[in-house]
Amino acid sequence: MAVKAADNPYGRQVIGLYRSIVHQSLRQSPMTVSSRRAFLAWQRRARATLRRILGSMPATRAPLRPRREVVETTDRYIKERVVYTTRPGVQVPAWLFTPRNVKLPAPAVLCLHGHSTGGKDECIDPKSIYNAFALRLAERGCVVLAPDQIGFGERKLPDGPVNYQVLTHGLNMLGHTLIGVRYYDLVRAIDLLETLPAVDKKRIGVMGLSLGGEMTAFLSALDPRVRAACVCGYITSHLHTFLDRPHCTCGHLRDLALHFEHADIAALTAPRPLFLDSGTADDSFPTADALANVRELRRIYTLFKKPKSHLGIEVHDGGHVIKCDKSIPWMLDRLNENAPARSNR
């Protein structure tokens, strides 16, 4: 007699095995906050581990060779389409906004879309889940770079046998990861921002939602050029997201949850300014976990005697969206804190 899948005791045993592996294996390399010295030593080790997890990276940086074309000029900004090289044979199209009527060099924000078909266009669309956050930052005086991430916008994969799934799993089989390839693209995006005369290199922030939030977390964790990071709709926990329910492939990095919980990944940005954004109606990334992370991370900022404003969170009643009400002013405040005119305080 056929057994209904729901009643299958042998199948249930597998789920039991999985749950016990999750319980025993999760977070073997948690942050240490007993002292500044202990924290910094943990951070060095953890960064090396995270770099290994992201997979192979190119040893040398290819010339960026940016091609720029002005597409719109308004009272507040100049909008350009820029295409730059991140590795030999790989080019990234992006929107680049340069503010007008502000003192240059200005702060810059790298704005990252998530797993969204429209890619960079969604970051400037007020009707998208991104609430035009990139455009808002440009209108408020920031240089903004919003690139297409692999698989989306103009970087959608062509029809053929190597689809998103093959790309993801194939890279994993070869010591690379799709997230690692994306990470390197973003290192190159910061390289590009640093070449622009309009950008104050000491005031570069990163902000993104979902996969864009995840990439913000990894980039700021490993690249000290990031002075402030705003992670929207991501930093919660592996336990109640990717380990617990179907999710997109973007969060599945080999050994990541073995070593770190989300709080530890966020701790790699500390004590630089960090802001989280969490929607209470976002079932895929629970707010309770985001809040618990802020409580845990607070100990680091206290340890380093940083002002309370260095670590923040916007909890809103929306879903998987960027609200922008607190996050945008927070980002502007953090980047303007280090403005040259006030730097001698």
Q: In whole angstroms, how close is the CB of 249 to Zn ion at the nearest point?
A: 6
The structure tokens listed for 260 are 């770190």
C-alpha distance across the termini of the chain, in Å: 79
Q: In whole angstroms, how close is the CB of 177 to Zn ion at the nearest point?
A: 13
Q: Which stretch binds Zn ion (CB under 5 A): 13-21, 31-39, 115-123, 310-318?
A: 115-123
Verify binding: residue 176, Zn ion, rule CB under 5 A: no
Q: Which is nearer to Zn ion, 108 or 150 (CB)?
A: 150
Q: Which stretch binds Zn ion (CB under 5 A): 42-50, 222-230, 245-253, 334-342?
A: 245-253
CA-CA distance, 98 to 106, in Å (whole number)? 9
Q: In whole angstroms, how close is the CB of 114 to Zn ion at the nearest point?
A: 7
Query: Of the candidates 248, 291, 292, 315, which one interacts with Zn ion according to CB under 5 A?
Result: 248
Burial class of residue 293, CB neighbours in 10 A (0-12, 13-18, 19+): buried
Verify binding: residue 215, Zn ion, rule CB under 5 A: no
Query: Of the candidates 132, 206, 229, 250, which one interacts with Zn ion according to CB under 5 A?
Result: 250
The structure tokens listed for 140 are 């408020």
Q: In whole angstroms, how close is the CB of 246 to Zn ion at the nearest point?
A: 12
Pair 300, 33: CB distance under 8 Å: yes
Q: In whole angstroms, how close is the CB of 168 to Zn ion at the nearest point?
A: 9
CA-CA distance, 95 to 138, in Å (whole number)? 11
Q: In whole angstroms, how close is the CB of 337 to Zn ion at the nearest point?
A: 33
Verify binding: residue 155, Zn ion, rule CB under 5 A: no
329: cis peptide before it, omega within 30°? Answer: no
CA-CA distance, 27 to 253, in Å (whole number)? 14
Verify binding: residue 167, Zn ion, rule CB under 5 A: no
Pairing of strands 274-279, 311-316: parallel
Verify binding: residue 51, Zn ion, rule CB under 5 A: no
Give the torsion through C-alpha atoms of 174, 180, 186, 188, to 10 deg.
-40
Question: Contact positions toward Zn ion, by CB under 5 A?
Answer: 115, 211, 248, 250
